[in-house]
Chains A and B, each alone.
Chain A
Amino acid sequence: MLRFDSVYKRFPDGTEAIRNISLHVPKGQFCVVLGPSGAGKSTLLRMLNGLSQPTEGSVHLAGEQITERSVQRLRKRVATVHQQFNLTPRMSVALNVLSGALPQVAHWRAAIGLFPPELRQKACRLLDEVGLTPEHVNRRVSELSGGQQQRVGIARAFMMDPAVLLADEPVASLDPRISRGILELLHRQSRNHDTTVLCSLHQPELAREFGDRIIAVNQGRLVFDGTPEQLTDQVCEDLYHGALAHKHDVPEVDEAECEPELELAAA
C-alpha cells in the first residue's frame, strides 16, 4: 500500500532528514514508527500526504507514485493526525471536525457551513469516541486544553474514510488511559476497515502492544524493522540512549532485523 524507494530528503538549509529509506507497508497493517526526537519521523509521514516531497527516490501510494500531478487525487484517501494538531484556532470544534470531510462536500455547502446530516452525526459519534463531551462541540478549539485539541485532530482525521491513516504522535498530549483508548481506536480502524496505519510514537511499550510491525528511524536512517517481539529492551536502549551518546553511530540491529520486512511485505 505504501512504498518508499531509496528516499532522501534534504531541506534547503542542508539538513538531511531522511537518508536512503526503503520501506513497504502492506494494506491494513498497523505500523508504528519509533525514533528519538528529530530522527525524521514527521518528515517520513509528511511525504505520504504530499506536504513534503522527497529530494531523491520515490514514494508510492496504492501502487501509484506520488507526483505533483497525482498528489491531489491520491491524498483524498489519506488522513493525517498532525503532530501540532493543525486545527483552525478561532473555529468551533464542530467545524474543525467537519472540515475533515471537506473534499466530499459540495462547495456551496462548505461556503455556508451546512454539512449533510450524516456527516454531522458522524462528527458527533467521533467526538464521543475520542472522549469529548457535547459541551465542547460549540467551543472554539483555542479554548480547549492541549489534549482535547489533539483529540479533535484525531476525530477530524476519521471524518473521511481513510485508506491510509498517518498519525504523528497522536497520543503525545494524552494521559495513559486516553492514550490507550486512542490507539485502540486506530487499531480497530486498521482491523475493521483495512486501513493502513502509520503511527509515530515515543512510547515503545505502546508500540509493542498495538503495532503489527515496528520500525525505527534515527538520524534519517531506518535502523530497525521488525515485529513487536523483536523490539527488545536492548533495541530500545540502543535506539534512545545509544543514539544520544554517540551521535554518528547507527545501532547494529538494522542489518539483522531488516529481513522480517520482506516476510511481511510478502504476507
Chain B
Amino acid sequence: MKPSANPNWNWLRPEKNMMKNLSVNRDAKWHLNQPYNARHLMFAIVALLILAVTGSRMEVPRMVQETAQGVGYVVGLNEESSVATGVMRIAESIWPLRISEEIEVSRIENFDRNDLPWLSHVEVIESRTPHLNTETLQLEETVESKEVLVKPIGYLSHVLLKMLETLEMALWGTILAVALSIPLACFAAANYAPNRFIYNLARSTISLFRAIPELVSALFLVLAFGFGPIAGFLALGIHSAGFLGKFYAEDIENADRGPQEALQSIGAGQIKTLWYGVLPQVLPQYIAYTLYILDRNIRMATVIGIVGAGGIGLELKGRFDMFNFDHVGTILVIIFLTVIILDQFSARLRSRLM
C-alpha cells in the first residue's frame, strides 16, 4: 500500500481484507525441522550415564530391592524384610508415647512428702525379678518395691517447654533477619544504592548469608556463644536475612516508579521516598515473605538443636541416641502438631493481609 495524503482506514476492517494476500511468497519451500537431532541424542546419553554412575553410588538398586521386599512383607508375599522389621521395631517402641515422668524418690534430694510438685503423686511400684532358687531348683520371684514420684504429664510439659523455646528461637531469628535485611535491601536495590561499591557489597553480603546453611553456621556459633538458643537464633537470622534481603531488594526495584518520582521531584530525599513512595506499595508482599520465613525458621529451629544450638532438637537427638523411642515419638508428634497448627495460622494471616 502506498502512503497517501488521505489515509484510508479500510484496512482496519477485518472482514474485508483479512484473508487476502496473506501468503508472502507462494513458491517458498517449506521445511519443518525434525524435533530431535544429534545434540539431543548426545544429551540423552550423557544424562543417562550420569544417572547410572550416581545411581550406583547412591545404592539406588538396593533401595528399590529392599523397598520392594518391605512392601511384599506388608502385603504378605515375603516372610522377612530388613526394612519392615526395622520400621516395625521402631513403631512398636514408639507406642505408647511417653507422657509421664517417673523419678525414684530416693534419687531426689531434700524430698518433701508434704510439698509435692503440682499434679504429681507418689506411687509404690513393685518390680519382680525371676531367679532360680539354687536349693529347690525352682523358679522364684523376688519382689522389690520402690517409691517413685510420678508426674503424669511431666515429660509432655518438658517437651512443650522445649517447643516453646524452639518457637522463640524462630521468632528471634526472624526478627534478626528483618532487622538485618531492611538496610541491606535498600543498599542492594539498584535505584537506591548510594554508589556502585556499596551496591556490590550489599549484594554479595546477601548472597553470602544465603550460602551459609544454618547447621554449619550454628556449629561455629555454638563454639562462640556456647550451647543454647543464642547460637540457634543467630544462625537462623543470618541465613534468612539472605533470603529476605534478596526478596526485599527485588521488590524495591520493581515498585511502581510513579509515586517515587512524585516524592523525588519535590526533593523529599531517599529515606522519605522509600518510606512514603515504596513501603506502602510493597508492605503486603514484605509481610507475606516474612511470614514464610518465620514458617521456615520454625521448621529449621526444630532440627538446629541437633548441633547443640538450643530448642527441641537437642532433646530429640539425645533421646534418639539412647534409643528412647517412646520419648522420640512424643517429640515428633509435638513438632508435627505445632507445624501444622502454625501453618494454618500463617495461611489465614496471609490471606487476611493480602
- Please determine whether B275 and A75 come into contact, CB atoms closer than 8 angstroms: no
Set A99, A245, A246: member contacting B276, Cβ < 8 A: A99
Q: Which of A31-80 touch B at CB < 8 Å?
A: 49-51, 71-73, 75-76, 78-80
Query: What is the bound-complex CA distance between A160 and B269, given in angstroms?
Result: 15
Q: Is the C-beta of B310 less than 8 angstroms from some C-beta in chain A? A: no
Beta-carbon nearest neighbor of B256 in chain A? A89
- Please determine whether B5 and A156 come into contact, CB atoms closer than 8 angstroms: no
Q: Is the C-beta of A103 less than 8 angstroms from some C-beta in chain B? A: yes
- For B244-262 the 0/1 string (1 means CB < 8 A from A) is 0000000000001011011
- Please determine whether A84 and B263 come into contact, CB atoms closer than 8 angstroms: no
Q: Which of A66-119 touch B at CB < 8 Å?
A: 71-73, 75-76, 78-80, 82, 84-91, 95, 99-100, 102-103, 105, 107, 110-111
- Please determine whether A102 and B281 come into contact, CB atoms closer than 8 angstroms: no
- Please determine whether A103 and B268 come into contact, CB atoms closer than 8 angstroms: yes
- Please determine whether A91 and B280 come into contact, CB atoms closer than 8 angstroms: yes
Residues of A within 8 A of B281 (CB): 88-90
Beta-carbon nearest neighbor of A101 in chain B? B266
- Nearest Cβ distance between residue A5 and chain B, in whole angstroms? 21
- Nearest Cβ distance between residue A174 and chain B, in whole angstroms? 19
- Please determine whether A80 and B272 come into contact, CB atoms closer than 8 angstroms: no
- Which has the most chain A C-beta neighbours within 10 Å: B261, B264, B267, B284? B267
Query: What is the bound-complex CA distance between A49 and B262, given in angstroms?
Result: 10
Q: Check A78/B268 contact, CB under 8 A, given A88-B276, A88-B281, A110-B275.
A: no
- Nearest Cβ distance between residue B283 and chain A, in whole angstroms? 7
Residues of B within 8 A of A110 (CB): 272, 275-276
Q: Check A86/B276 contact, CB under 8 A, given A76-B266, A76-B267, A103-B267.
A: no
Q: Which of B276-308 touch A at CB < 8 Å?
A: 276-277, 280-281, 283-284
Residues of B within 8 A of A86 (CB): 258-259, 261-262
- Please determine whether B261 and A103 come into contact, CB atoms closer than 8 angstroms: no
Set B5, B256, B262, B276: member contacting A95, Cβ < 8 A: B276
- Please determine whether B265 and A78 come into contact, CB atoms closer than 8 angstroms: yes
- Nearest Cβ distance between residue A142 and chain B, in whole angstroms? 10
- Please determine whether B5 and A88 come into contact, CB atoms closer than 8 angstroms: no
- Please determine whether B256 and A51 come into contact, CB atoms closer than 8 angstroms: no
- Nearest Cβ distance between residue A66 and chain B, in whole angstroms? 12
Q: Is the C-beta of B124 less than 8 angstroms from some C-beta in chain A? A: no
Query: What is the bound-complex CA distance between A51 and B266, given in angstroms?
Result: 10
Q: Is the C-beta of B271 less than 8 angstroms from some C-beta in chain A? A: yes
- Nearest Cβ distance between residue A247 and chain B, in whole angstroms? 10
Residues of B within 8 A of A85 (CB): 258
Query: What is the bound-complex CA distance between A110 and B267, given in angstroms?
Result: 14
Query: What is the bound-complex CA distance between A30 and B5, given in angstroms?
Result: 38
- Please determine whether A245 and B267 come into contact, CB atoms closer than 8 angstroms: no
- Nearest Cβ distance between residue B326 and chain A, in whole angstroms? 52
Q: Check A88/B280 contact, CB under 8 A, given A72-B267, A103-B269.
A: yes
- Please determine whether A102 and B266 come into contact, CB atoms closer than 8 angstroms: yes
- Please determine whether B262 and A111 come into contact, CB atoms closer than 8 angstroms: no
Residues of A within 8 A of B5 (CB): 245-246
- Nearest Cβ distance between residue A151 and chain B, in whole angstroms? 15
- Nearest Cβ distance between residue A249 and chain B, in whole angstroms? 11
- Please determine whether A51 and B259 come into contact, CB atoms closer than 8 angstroms: no
Residues of A within 8 A of B277 (CB): 88, 99
Residues of B within 8 A of A160 (CB): 266
Query: What is the bound-complex CA distance between A95 and B5, given in angstroms?
Result: 52
Set B265, B275, B283, B284: member contacting A51, Cβ < 8 A: B265
- For B37-53 the 0/1 string (1 means CB < 8 A from A) is 00000000000000000
Residues of A within 8 A of B265 (CB): 49-51, 75, 78, 80
Query: What is the bound-complex CA distance between A82 and B267, given in angstroms?
Result: 15
- For A109-135 the 0/1 string (1 means CB < 8 A from B) is 011000000000000000000000000
Residues of A within 8 A of B262 (CB): 80, 82, 86-87, 99, 153, 156
Residues of B within 8 A of A245 (CB): 5
- Nearest Cβ distance between residue A90 and chain B, in whole angstroms? 5
Give 7 CB contacts A-B under 8 Å.
Answer: A49-B266, A51-B261, A72-B267, A88-B259, A90-B280, A103-B267, A107-B271
In the A-B complex, the 5 residue pairs with the closest CB atoms: A86-B258, A86-B262, A102-B268, A49-B265, A88-B259
Give me the interface of B with A, judged by CB distance under 8 Å: 5, 256, 258-259, 261-269, 271-272, 275-277, 280-281, 283-284
Give me the interface of A with B, judged by CB distance under 8 Å: 49-51, 71-73, 75-76, 78-80, 82, 84-91, 95, 99-100, 102-103, 105, 107, 110-111, 153, 156, 160, 245-246
A49-B266, A90-B284, A102-B268 given; 11 more Cβ-contact pairs under 8 Å: A51-B265, A80-B265, A84-B258, A87-B262, A88-B259, A88-B276, A102-B276, A110-B272, A110-B275, A153-B262, A160-B266
